[in-house]
Amino acid sequence: MNSDMYALNRLTLGNQRFVAEQSYGGNISSKRRLKLAEGQNPFAVIVGCSDSRVPAELVFDQGLGDLFVIRVAGNITDESVTGSVEYAVAVLGCELVVVLGHTDCGAVKATVQEISQPSGNLSPNLGFIVNAISPVVSSLASNGSNLNQNELINNAIRSNIKHSARQLYATSTILESAVNDGKLIIAGAEYHLKTGAVDFFDQIPE
C-alpha cells in the first residue's frame, strides 16, 4: 500500500474506532512526548473547522505528533493556511492532506443567511470568512433554485469542502507538484455531528 493510501486508511480505521466507542486514544505517553521534543513526523495534515465538536485527533483516534492540524472557521483556505500545509508537505514530508468540514457548519449557515438577508454589520474579520464561502453558496443558489434553505446549507457544506481542497491545489505550486508527482493526496471529508462518522467524498487526484 502506498504511504498516502496507508495514511488515508489509518484515518479511516481510527474514525471507525471512534464511532464504535473503541478508541485507544493514541500514544500520549511521557516517552512519546520526549521523543517528539526532538522533532515531529506527522503522517497527515488536517485542515479542519474550528468548531469545538470536531477535534481531529479525537475524531480520528490519533495521539501526540500524529496529525498536523490547522483549524479555521468554515475550513477555508487563505495564504496562512496554504503556507502551513506547504510546510507540512515540503518540510515534514506529509503525503496526505484532508480538508475536514462537518454537518451543521455555523460558518456556512451564517454565509447563507448573510447572502439571503444581508446584515451590513459584520466585522471585517467575520466578513473575510463569509466572503471566502460566499462564491460557493452563490453558485449553488443560482444553479439550484429549487433547493430549500436546509438543502442549500447541506450542499454548500460539501461544496465548500471541495472548494477548499481545490484551492489548495490551485494556489500552491508546491502542493500541485507533489500531487502531480504522485507524492500527495488531497482529500475532502465531512464529519457527521450526530454519528461521529467521517465521509471521504472527494480526492485529488481523482
Pairing of strands 185-191, 96-102: parallel
* pLDDT, tens digit only, all 206 positions of the chain: 577 789 999 999 999 999 999 998 889 999 999 999 999 999 999 999 999 999 999 999 999 999 999 999 999 999 999 999 999 999 999 999 999 999 999 999 999 999 988 888 889 999 999 999 999 999 887 775 677 889 999 999 999 999 999 999 999 999 999 999 999 999 999 999 999 999 999 999 98
Q: What is the pLDDT of residue 181?
A: 96
CB 49 within 8 A of CB 132: no
Q: H helices within 144-194, ranges in order?
A: 149-171, 173-180
CA 184 – CA 29 distance, rounded (Å) = 30
**pTM here?**
0.95
Torsion on CA atoms 68, 73, 74, 76, rounded to nearest 10: -60
Taking Cα atoms as reference points, which of 80, 114, 97 lies closest to residue 165?
97
In the block, which residue shows the cell 483556505?
Answer: 77
Partners of 46 in beta bridges: 69, 98
The runs of H, that is alpha helices, within 62-105 are 79-90
pLDDT confidence of residue 1: 59
Q: What is the DSSP letter of 194?
A: T
Query: What is the Cα gyration radius of the chain?
Result: 17
Number of other CB atoms surrounding residue 115 within 10 Å: 16
CATH at residue 109: 3.40.1050.10
Number of domains into which the chain is organized: 1
**Structural domain that includes position 26:** 3-204
How does pLDDT run across 141-155, given as a tens digit for each residue? 777 567 788 999 999
Residue 201 DSSP class: E
